[in-house]
Structure 1
């Protein structure tokens, strides 16, 4: 959470910043009203702590200005004036809460938590789960339009889950979110309230419990059954029979693998009872038991997983087996065979039957055009769903996340609901790429779509085949920016499960079953994170981990182990080899995701320090050139254009001489922040050197690039930089704009041409000049 503190009293700021930082908030400080207003207008914050009495511009005026611009960031006023008149003025100006100085630290924290909860609003006014609805404006809960009476805490619980549909909340986090600082309930209180809420929902007629217990972690909202299933047409008998046959075939293949592993254990058991067990057969049985322990849990055969672990422990015993162990093995074998016999094709997890081809959703009101796209996609390696009503897209995506959305805009102007939908899809985590298919093809519309996160604009004159060619290019670009995971495990079922679990979270998963091919695969994939099985044939995960840690290039690569063992000795071995973390088998999905995200965040933090220009917050030149080289290679493969712009801040040397280098640094930082805000995450932005910045825009012409830069100049004109008592300063720049492939096909060539244009633009007195072909 990012908080802006606007406070001119340095003593108070020095006290608040470390305390709030310790609470995991990101704090930015402005020491006068004008600077604070500029930061609040140009950057997104989750909360503003605002002093009332400020130099240059008072806090109440800042409130009015922000609210008049439609900025709804929660504002907490801080002041030493404890009278009702000031409170009324502040609240009427748009503040959300008011706290007088000196204030109690715990009270301030409680108010901050309350405002942050209040600010976490959903885009849809009424929150729904199937026919269950919660209306925040009236604080009412209904099922099939019948009112349900709930307590305030039950209401808060339901609202928390409905607003955070995919998040798991622990009981301690729920206490922090829903109970005030003055209350000190036990975690069992949460369990009691959830139990009461479930009972009321069931009594109201809900056929399914909307709250799912994630054992050992907490609670989350279940995915509802799609509404349209109740009214959908009966499935033809032939189609239904084909589906049953396909599912049965999948289960049979899986069951054959599981049976072969049990058979290996049975052969070893017979040999042990006959006192003729060879080392090779013993090792095969240990491997089979290890794989069963990891994979049976994914088929809800938890008892079978436990039995396999016990068998593995007995077979791994260093000393000859005693009489009790020999008698125990056949009993364990029979028990695991019985558990496997109970499993049917109904136990097959989704990841074994899911279609792994990329999903394209086409929002197309015209049914004839929709049918044309459906026919054409049969010739491409992708799935396609056509939706004729844009209002149901959100419901679709909540059930199944697409790789790309093609949005057809009918008419001469883009409607507000389409713009809203485009913004929502781009704001998803990870973002859903959206390609706009429109009738009105002009520069203004293209700029508007790009600013909302659109990945491309296609005129409606293009054929379905041409459109799908562009869709394929977009998919390749998206995969280039995805987090890459390399998973090494000799059990293909585990690897398939990792594909299913991680790819919806924007991770591209590469898998390897043979550890002997590890090093060549590592160099080819160049992953962001490595997942290793502990026990594998030929080379163990521990050995692979040590090899990685001993190579300078990969020494910082995050490594996570998957293992069925949780004893202290195994954990010590894992961490001694250089691992960062581990997760248990059978895989617990929320736990695995939490551990992977934690490792990636820490790795990203370290990488950011080496790849980012500290002053401006944008990429440094070295990293920019590397990324630009990759982008040029992609543009060549996909026959796409690329726009490169070199920007030079006006009069930076004179600013340093007149106002000092601290002001010059603020100028560069100000421009860096606006560049990041005005260009999408797919564009490359860097500080090249001194007063120069560089921007690269894939799939954009030089004319489009010039238009974006002119828009940025307008923004700079409207938002001058406050210099405290020295007035304000309007930041501006000049730019040379070039295009691949017309002006070069390597970063150095594009830079030289753009640099030459900068010399020309300064002589002519222009702002931006575009290279001719």
Structure 2
């Protein structure tokens, strides 16, 4: 049994265990309801009843029982309202609660069957180890079964989840081993807002500024206000959509971008080179230097500059002529070029801008002014390029951009004698997802899969969306066995993720084809080999990765 098979079996065991224990929870709720009817001012009975139905409202839908969640939610809200008000329920409230209890029993399918004793869930097996840096998440949820389910789901996206089934011990754990984020329920036996109070206490006592995501069956303004006042960064209502939770985790825990602007300096004066590169590097930018204009082509390909700083007057080739050469190549039409020169002749400036320059700096120039000009030009160019090269739904590279990257990576791999693999991926039977659940849900599935790819692959890997449900990945430095293993791990994890459409849950699978670059191979042949492998994966039954 593979690790993913083990996790899938555990998820199914958790669902079966929850269904087995459900009648017992309903019976216990009925016992407390009877106590409330006999003595409406019995606050303890109301609190215990609220705790049970709160758990049902939040967890049942996550285990395939949305009708139970829907029936429990208004009862949990009504009970909480009375507890917050600090008064006994009136006759109208008791009548509503009685009807809600009957609805809850019907939704649970209780017809007098004997209650099975609780079963012990199978031991949890952690998700398979991930490449790269795993981020630690603290999950605080008193429903053990729901906590286990959420932990396994979140783990599929590359997070390491540590669960707390109560509030005790959280502050010490945060102090000793700070997590990347905390997922915190709001309602606990200690009170209807105990989760927010725990986080507020953590903040007041000098706890690390850890991002906090609250989730709860409560959707009232008071709960949301208390979550905000406690320093919460996001809030979701149960049953939670795992994709929304992971979206928030990605946003709150993603490490800051460390790749600085890449500036290519084309200048034959060594003193000017030293001055320019020092100023740019102090501003956090990366630089590459070309002192001989006839050697510019290789740095253009390998360094992939965001901007070119170019002297106008150089021996053997002027900067203006060099700019013309660069602009004749489609891949470099959009790179900003700033000319540097001591020439103040307006006619020369006009010619420089007319032939492909974007800006003009006269020597001597101020370092701060240079840095600001470069920063502004690159930021604007990157923003525009993002619109042109990124898929609007997923943020992945679009088809044209991915092909350009593949050509460059193939050239680089052949030049340096390094391995390179390429994979094509389709989501299986995606049309039926759109037909059954609608295009909005289909878009969420696409975004969820794109997120999974980003989490599971290295930062050096290139990921693109090449069609509706079609994706491609470029894995520099990866041989065929390693590339196939990585994609197969992604396939296994995708099958474990529970997608949600309103109150329905479902899962999807993927098929993949992977090929490796031959020593004298071309990008076109690499794509064709991966496409043939993908076709075989579909012919052999889908939900598999085949090598070409």
Structure 2 length normalisation: TM-score? 0.49
Which structure would you say has the larger RCO, counting Cα contacts within 8 Å and 6 or more residues apart? 2
